[in-house]
């Protein structure tokens, strides 16, 4: 690939989860990488033993607990953090950032300004931030982007082909991000609709939970197809209420990611649904997960938002009842089949 920009500085990665780790290795095939981790033991394991989460780490990846070091060495930084930790880490990083930095995040969750942990609350769009909005709120950085798509970390670690959507309002971010990420087995597709791409990556999580539960109950491809197609319609309806046009939900970050996460046990959200159907409680599942499944909180956020704004989102309502109101999965499927069918396609 022809170099458009002379990227000589290391590339920063914030977060040492499975996707952050494989993204670091992917980038490290052609660039030096500096990873941020909170624990010194993790940093030592990466730097000394070149291993993390059973993944071999490439030689030109180094790790640090020092956010200031990441900001001073790296002009381009990829925050790949769970939503619950995103704002706090970005706020800490902001002390070391300037307007010359570029941040391209890989998170698929919401930052919610209202406490919804104790039960139903009124949620409006002003109460919810995407991760790019958090960056703009907390830092002097204005050149912001995101990556989102069907990017199962284990497959990327195995060097299987994949693609992702890189979204930003800035052509420079799209060009530099593509230069850093694209290789023979990882294709980059550009988009200017950063909010639409972010919402697509968030919304698909709750559909994946439903798909995992359906698979565990022994339902086949017909039900999966029903969940995916009705799910994408519901995602678009909610997105339109938030001011996003349908096109971003119909591409790789929407339908593409939805198909992958609704079909693979490698998806954390799919696994949550599968384990629910096998009799585990949400509390048991959360306590034994090594990484966050964003869909667990996404279900609550979208349910409360759709109720407040009177958005027709019956699928998320059914999933919420199963997860948080002790409805059986069998009753959830029955509710799905009793929904007023209406038009097949109604979101244009």
Does the active-site annotation cover 204?
yes
CB atoms within 10 A of CB 174: 19
Task: Write down the catalytic residue from 108, 195, 204, 300.
Answer: 204
Burial of 218 (0-12, 13-18, 19+ CB in 10 A): exposed
Query: What does residue 78 show for φ and ψ, rounded to 5 degrees?
Result: -110, 100
What is the C-alpha to C-alpha distance for residues 284 and 271, in angstroms, rounded to an integer? Answer: 13
The b/e string for 119-139 (b: 16+ C-beta within 10 A; e otherwise) is: eebebeeebbbbbbbbbeebb
Cα distances (angstroms) measured from residue 81 to each of 19, 105, 166, 226: 9, 8, 17, 31
SS3 74: coil
What is the C-alpha to C-alpha distance for residues 81 and 18, in angstroms, rounded to an integer? Answer: 10
HSE (side-chain half, CA atoms, 13 Å) at 185? 12
- Active-site residue set: 204
């Amino acid at each position: 690939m022809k170099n458009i920009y002379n990227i000589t500085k290391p590339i920063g990665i914030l977060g040492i989860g499975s996707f952050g780790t494989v993204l670091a290795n992917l980038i490290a095939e052609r660039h030096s990488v500096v990873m941020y981790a909170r624990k010194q033991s993790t940093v030592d394991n990466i730097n000394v033993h070149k291993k993390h989460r059973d993944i071999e780490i490439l030689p030109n990846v180094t790790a640090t607990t020092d956010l200031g070091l990441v900001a001073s060495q790296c002009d381009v930084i990829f925050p790949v953090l769970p939503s619950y930790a995103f704002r706090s880490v970005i706020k800490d990083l902001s002390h070391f950032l300037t307007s010359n930095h570029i941040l391209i995040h890989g998170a698929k969750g919401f930052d919610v300004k209202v406490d919804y942990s104790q039960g139903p609350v009124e949620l409006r769009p002003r109460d919810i931030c995407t991760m790019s909005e958090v960056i703009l709120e907390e830092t002097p950085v204005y050149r912001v982007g995101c990556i989102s798509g069907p990017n199962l970390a284990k497959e990327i670690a195995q060097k299987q082909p994949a693609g992702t959507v890189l979204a930003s309002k800035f052509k420079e971010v799209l060009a530099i991000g593509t230069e850093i990420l694209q290789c023979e087995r990882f294709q980059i597709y550009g988009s200017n609709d950063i909010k639409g791409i972010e919402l697509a990556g968030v919304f698909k999580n709750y559909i994946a939970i439903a798909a995992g539960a359906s698979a565990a109950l022994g339902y086949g491809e017909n039900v999966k197809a029903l969940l995916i197609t009705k799910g994408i319609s519901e995602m678009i309806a909610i997105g339109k209420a938030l001011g996003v046009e349908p096109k971003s939900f119909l591409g790789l970050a929407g339908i593409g990611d939805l198909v992958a996460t609704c079909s693979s046990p490698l998806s954390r959200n799919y696994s949550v649904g599968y384990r629910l159907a096998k009799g585990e409680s949400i509390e048991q599942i959360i306590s034994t997960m090594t990484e966050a499944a964003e869909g667990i909180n996404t279900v609550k956020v979208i349910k409360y938002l759709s109720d407040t704004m009177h958005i027709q989102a019956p699928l998320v309502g059914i999933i919420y009842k199963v997860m948080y109101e002790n409805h059986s999965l069998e009753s959830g499927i029955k509710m799905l089949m009793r929904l007023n069918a209406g038009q097949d396609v109604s979101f244009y």
